[in-house]
A and B are shown apart, each in its own frame.
Chain A
Amino acid sequence: MDSMTIIAVASIASAGLTIALGSIGPALGEGRAVAMALNSLAQQPDAASTITRTLFVGLAMIESIAIYCFVVAMILIFANPFWNHVVTQVTGK
């Protein structure tokens, strides 16, 4: 395997691993947050607006972790700096 193949394999595999492993934690966290919010909505329907607003803000905070993983995966696939470096080295000669 030359270095180009190694870089391609490593980027593709790690992009898949990034989004797969990185979405486990936020998924568990969001499920827990929504379950608790539904619980408290059932107990106190009067506080619905406050609970919903806090839930949305909290969900956005949790989800941003998954979004970071997604952005990193997209960079690895579409805008990989190492891959671009190798490509310019090969074609520039």
Chain B
Amino acid sequence: MHLSPDGIIFWQHGLFKLNATIVFTWGLMFLLTVGSKLITRKLSMGLERTRWQNLLEILVTSMRKQIADVGLRNPERYLGFLGTLFLFVAMAALCTIIPGYEAPTGSLSTTATLALCVFVAVPMFGIEERGIGNYLKSYVHPTFIMLPFNIISELSRTLALAVRLFGNMMSGAMIIGILLTITPFIFPIVMSTLGLLTGMVQAYIFTILSAVYIAAATRARKPKSEPQTE
């Protein structure tokens, strides 16, 4: 039994290994880009539209609404980043119904990469919105004593994002693997259905938490002056 798809190696040449994580990540990226390209090739503005266009419109509008609900002012700016995170994690979980596929998010390297993207993106959006001086000032906001704690919280929440997604996806795959050896017929199917649900919930949570972090970094431009005027 292996802990992650890192252990399955398709091809190896010297130091370079082509393991299942890389292959399935590139497969997912190919699927998402080519699929979106094919669907958006002929969009229609009228009432007659294809069902794939409907699907994409539902996805994009609901993601916009969720991002706006978290408290980000113009969701279009963050839709590219957060939407990509959501689509990738959700597709990685949904594709587990394909036999022989292992979710690349079940490997700690993939989730650590996604969490590092959030770790880099949060200060970038914060600086873009508030300017570098104001953003850095938020680290010493109540007093100077809070500086190390703020930095530790940035690091620990990145670690938490990575380990949470990894643990959930890995535990789903592992429970199915264990059940296959004990009760091979009905229970693995039930557990893989539950795995689909947890995968979607984890994708949602990953995106919402990133949105909350970005909102915390970009908001509070003027602390007390304009509380509820809008």
Contacts and interface: CB of A to CB of B under 8 A. Distances in A.
A85 to B, nearest CB: 18
A58 to B, nearest CB: 10
Interface residues on A, range: 10 to 19
A53 B163 contact: no
A53 B166 contact: no
A64 B212 CA distance: 17
A74 B171 CA distance: 9
A57 B174 CA distance: 24
B201 A56 contact: yes
Interface stretch (A5-13, A27-35, A37-45, A65-73): A65-73
A50 B70 CA distance: 9
A79 interface: yes
Q: Is the interface of A mostly helix, strand, loop or mixed?
A: helix
A67 B168 contact: yes
Contacts of B114: none
Contact of B208 (A53, A63, A78): A53
Interface of A: 49-50, 53, 56-57, 60, 63-64, 67-68, 70-71, 74, 78-79
B69 interface: yes
Nearest to B168: A67
Nearest to B3: A78
Contacts of B163: 64, 67-68, 71
A78 B178 CA distance: 13
